[in-house]
Amino acid sequence: MRNHLERNGMTACVRYEGGVIGQPAIDTTEGNVKRIEMGAGVVPIGIENALFDMEVGETRVVDLSPREAFGEYDENAVQTVLRDFVPNGHSLEEGSLVGWRDPHTGQVMPVRVTMATKDYVTLDHNHPFAGQNLRYTLELVGLE
């Protein structure tokens, strides 16, 4: 395994596709190159570790456990709230995505509506891939 310090802070130019093992790949760069700052924690640790270890021009298939990807599914990250407390709450239905501002970081994250009644919506703050085993095909196109 390569020393991570060599590439920390560099930009990896990557093509990828992946998703839940046994299902069609839905997370993809669609053949385009995506720039990822190495060591910044912007991708799951299992993908980042693979990129640190790969050679430019290499393609690799990587299987990720929830621990190496988006974590375990957390039941505590699901909450039911009054529609009045959610932006555009009265137009939301099951399956809708809503931007939710994290009170600690101020960052807006997509949150899924998993249930909707006349007065309430249930919001799932888990990443859609939380608790899932994933498979990604990575191509390291370049390093900058």
**Does residue 1 register a pLDDT over 70?**
no
Overall fold of domain 4-71+129-143? Chitinase A; domain 3 (3.10.50)
CA distance 123 to 77: 8
With respect to CATH, is domain 75-124 assigned 3.90.1150.10? no
- For residues 56-83, average pLDDT: 96
How many Å apart are CA 106 and CA 89, to the nearest integer?
20
Q: Could you state, in order of their start, the residue ranges of all structural domains in the chain? A: 4-71+129-143, 75-124
Q: What is the pLDDT of residue 51?
A: 95
> Rounded mean pLDDT of 23-31?
94
| Percent of the chain whose pLDDT exceeds 90 | 75
- Can you tell me the mean pLDDT for 106-134? 93
